[in-house]
Structure formats: C-alpha cells, structure tokens
Amino acid sequence: MADEDDDIILADLNDEELVEQMFDDLYDGMKDEIEDAVHILLDRGWAPYRILTEALVGGMKIVGEDFRDGILFVPEVLLAANAMKGGMAILKPLLAETGAPTIGKMVIGTVKGDIHDIGKNLVAMMMEGAGFEVVDLGINNPVENYLEAAAAEKPDIIGMSALLTTTMPYMKVVIDTMVAEGIRDDYLVLVGGAPLNEEFGKAIGADAYCRDAAVAVETAKDLIARRHNQRAAG
C-alpha cells in the first residue's frame, strides 16, 4: 500500500462511502482492503449479516453482472471472489454465532470424468457471495457422491457441472437415479457447463440450465422463492 497523496484512507470514509469503496475493491480483487473494511464496519457496530448483504453481496452482484455481460472474464472474477472470501472468512464465525439466516443451501460438484472445475468454482463463489451456504463436492463425482451429500446436507439445490462432451450426459445419470430413488422432487437441480444449453437442461430433467455463474445465482434465488410461494399456497 503506497502512501501517495491520492490514497484513500478507508477508516476516514463514512459508512456509505466505505461500502461504495468496498464495491470498487471487490471489483479489483483487493483482498487486504476488503478485510480491512470488514473490520472497520464491525468496529462501527455493523451486524455481520448487514456487512455480508450490503457490502459483500452488493459488490459481488456488480461483478456478477459484468461477468454476465462480457465485461469481466474469469481471471477478474476469481480475483474478486478471492477478495470476497477474505471478508467472508472474518464474518463466517460471527454469522454462525448470531444465527443469521441463509437464503438457501447448495451442494455442487463436477460430474464423473470431468476435472474442469473453473465454472463450478465460480458458481460456488458467486452463490456464497449471494449469501447461500455452499457444500462443494469438488470434481469427478459419481452419482453416489451427490446422493450421499443430498442425504447428509439436506440442501435446497443440487448443482452439477460438466465441461466436456464426454461427461455432460452423466448429469442425466444422476437425475435418473434421483428419480428412481424417489427423491428428485426434494431438490432443485441446476446444471451448467460450456457445452450445455437450455434445451439440454430440460431434456435431461433439470430444473434449469444456467449459462454462467451470475445466471446461476439469479436462477437459484428465483426458484427458491417460487418454491416457497408454492409451499405457502399449497
């Protein structure tokens, strides 16, 4: 951190300016600054949940939108997510203590035979950035991994990713197994990956195909809200 004349001293900013600055710093992937700012807001008496939603989730929303619109690309998003993670690491234990609400839980993994986890990692990060609890199964998951995690974690959403033509049909294997076990409708199933498209998602029986991580977040929020409404109505 150089001390040039035009440096901004985070602690000198008022709350509103500081949150705006955090949006910029998230955008630029500046982890140290995000961590500093989280501490400052905590010292000023902000509730952890408020910092998460207003500063971190707010900032990652801009990153997500610019990623969706082809303005930012994967390297920038990874840096931003890394900065957000720094902030989250401070907030996580505090959130648990204060019993803050989560908007939903997701189990996510790349399917069997597929090592490509960049897209999956982005989705996991953006979902966390949006306030979801995410259980990451990693790469190369056979159907058993998804089923075990579903039983153990009781997520709202199961997310599957595939980046290869040779692995994308495996998503259907997972969904078919869920149907056979009678648990398909207990979860929202989201799928994504470069070779996929909406039609493919429908054909294999997923709830939605998500073109990118930003769309995944929007879709997840939307489907969870709809499901709540349905349950309330039914």
Partner 1 sequence: MTDALTELLSTRDWLMADGATGTNLFNMGLASGDAPEFWNIDHPERIRTLYRNAVEAGSDIFLTNSFGANASRLKLHDAASRAFELSRLAAALGRDVADAAGRKVVVAGSVGPTGEIMGTVGTLSHETAVEMFEETAAGLKEGGADVLWVETISAPEEFAAAAEAFANVGMPWCGTMSFDTAGRTMMGVTSDDFVRQVDALPNPPLAFGANCGVGASDLMRTVLGFAATGTERPIIAKGNAGIPRYEDGHIHYNGTPELMAEYAVLARNAGARIIGGCCGTMPEHLRAMREALETRPTGPRPTLEQIAAALGGFSSDSDGTGDTPAPKRERRGRRRS
The binding site for partner 1 (CB under 8 A) comprises 1-2, 4, 6-8, 20-21, 24, 27-28, 30, 33, 62, 66, 69-71, 73-76, 78-79, 82, 111-118, 139-140, 142, 163-170, 172-173, 194-197, 199-200, 203-204
Nearer to partner 1, 63 or 224 (CB): 63
Minimum gap (Å) between residue 139 Cβ and partner 1: 7
Among candidate residues 205, 140, 139, 208, the one with its CA nearest the CA of residue 178: 205
Nearer to partner 1, 70 or 99 (CB): 70
Interacting residues of 161 by C-beta distance below 8 A, sequence separation 6+: 108, 109, 110, 111, 114, 116, 117, 119, 120, 123, 191, 192, 193
Minimum gap (Å) between residue 195 Cβ and partner 1: 6
Nearer to partner 1, 117 or 136 (CB): 117
Separation between Cα atoms, residue 218 and residue 181, nearest integer Å: 29
Residue 63 burial (CB < 10 Å; 0-12/13-18/19+)? buried
Minimum gap (Å) between residue 29 Cβ and partner 1: 8
Among candidate residues 29, 127, 139, 133, the one with its CA nearest the CA of residue 78: 29
Give residue 167's Cα distance to chain centre: 23
Minimum gap (Å) between residue 228 Cβ and partner 1: 30
Nearer to partner 1, 166 or 229 (CB): 166
Nearer to partner 1, 120 or 130 (CB): 120
Q: What is the pairing mode between strands 208-209 and 105-110?
A: unpaired
